[in-house]
Structures are given as C-alpha cells and as structure tokens.
Amino acid sequence: MTGGTGGIGKATAIGLSTLGARVAITGRDEARARAAAGIARETGNSAVDVFAADMSSQAEVRRLAGELLAAYPRLDVLVNHVGGFWAHRHLTADGLEHTFALNHLAPFLLTNLLLDRLKQSTPARVVTVSSGAQAMGKIDFDDLMGEQKYSGQRAYNQSKLAKFVFTYELARRLDGTGVTATVLHPGVVRTAFGAEDSTAMMGALTFDRG
C-alpha cells in the first residue's frame, strides 16, 4: 500500500490489516511511516511493515521495489494510492514535473518492477487509486511536464487520466495471467489532501479525491 500513512491510504491499510493480512505501507519518511504503529494498535494485527520512500524519485521507487521483493516471497495485492496536488509547478530530483511523477510515473514504475512477483503469486491484483477528475483530464503530449503552461488542476487531471489509461492497458495485457488490474475513484473524503501547496479553494476544502 503506497501512501498508507494517512487519509484514504491509511484507512485502506487498516481495513486490510483488520482482515488479517500482512500489510506493507510506504511513507515519504520515517516520521510519517510511524503511522504503522497506530494501525497495529487499532487492528490488533502486528503484521504491519513500514518502508520509507519518496515516491516522486524514480531511484527511490526502484530501491523500494528491491526491498519489497527481498522481503516478500509472494505479493497478493499491490495498492497504488500515493498521490498529491500542487498548485505551483515543482520539479522532482529527476527533473520531472512533480504531479505527473508522483501520481502516475511512480505507480507505473513500481507496478512494472513488481509484476513478475505478482504473476508468481496468482491469483493477485493491482489496485490503482485515481480520481473522478480524470474525466476532465487531457494528456498533453506536447507539454507533458507543464513547461509551457502550468495549472495545478490541469496537471492533476492529466495525471489521474494517465492512471486510467495505464490500468486499462495493463488489464488487457494481464488477461489470462491470474493477475487483475483495477482503477477506481474513491469518492470525496475529508483529509489533508493538497495542504502542502494548494490554492485558497483547495486549502479550504482539504478533500482527498484519490
């Protein structure tokens, strides 16, 4: 479960842990990852593992994938949840536009790095959390990184649409393998979503739309 330290991600991790699953969550840093202790206390299931990784960094995603593969001989479910909204344009350590890098490229890369293990663990599934905002999205291949014109909402919508496109194609390619791929809109939930760098409107709403 990427992004399992708060909001929808943490609620999902709690749900899976309550069912008795061994749950691995990611947090951007160790401080955020301490949320795992709360999950274990709340569910009575101590099988909660924590992995710290800045998912906006492709090197960190690759490191995380290596740690997961070393830790788990089988993977039953991968939940790609981590994401965010930024009103202003930021670049990652790789020089990529932050919204697209975190919301789409991170789950794209992690899923592909873990795909062989998932196939070996069938039946298995990949669940990717997107947003209803994808319906307003358009993938601008001529300005994918928002260098010419940037809008936080446009970048967010584009990244969520990319998740849908990726998942539908992944599902097609995985047909018959025993691994399913699903993408979803979780609905509107009150969390601290968008609080790091938000417009006044988003700061007031603080809703997590996935």
Question: What average pLDDT score do residues 4-28 get?
Answer: 91
Query: Is the same domain home to 114 and 174?
Result: yes
Q: Decide if 99 is inside a domain.
A: no
Non-local (6+) Cβ contacts of 52 within 8 A are 26, 27, 28, 29, 30, 32, 33
Higher pLDDT, 40 or 145: 145
Q: What is the pLDDT of residues 81-122, one digit of tens each?
A: 999 999 999 999 999 999 999 999 999 999 999 999 999 999
Catalytic residues: 156
The pair of structure tokens assigned to 109 is 């890369």
* 141/197: higher pLDDT: 141
Residue 188 has pLDDT above 70, yes or no: no
**Secondary element (H or E) of residue 63:** helix 58-71
Which residue, among 197, 2, 205, has the nearest Cα to 114 in the 3D structure?
2
State the pLDDT at residue 33. Answer: 62
Lowest mean pLDDT among 11-25, 88-102, 150-164, 186-200: 186-200
**Domain residues for 205?**
55-85+105-210
Output the average pLDDT for the chain.
88
User: Quick one: pLDDT at residue 147?
Assistant: 95
What token pair was written down for 50? 């924590």
Is residue 61 domain-shared with residue 163, that is, in the same domain? yes
Tokens 């970048």 correspond to 155
Strand partners, 127: 79, 182
Residue % of the chain over a pLDDT of 70: 86
Confidence band for 204, pLDDT divided at 50, 70 and 90: very low
* Whole-number pLDDT of residue 198: 55
Contact 41, 63 (CB under 8 A): no
Query: Is the domain of 40 the same as that of 67?
Result: no
- The CATH number of residue 141's host domain is 3.40.50.720
Which pTM value belongs to this model?
Answer: 0.87
Looking at the fold, whether 19 and 76 belong to one and the same domain comes out as: no
State the residue for tokens 């490229």: 105
Read off the tokens for 202: 């988003």
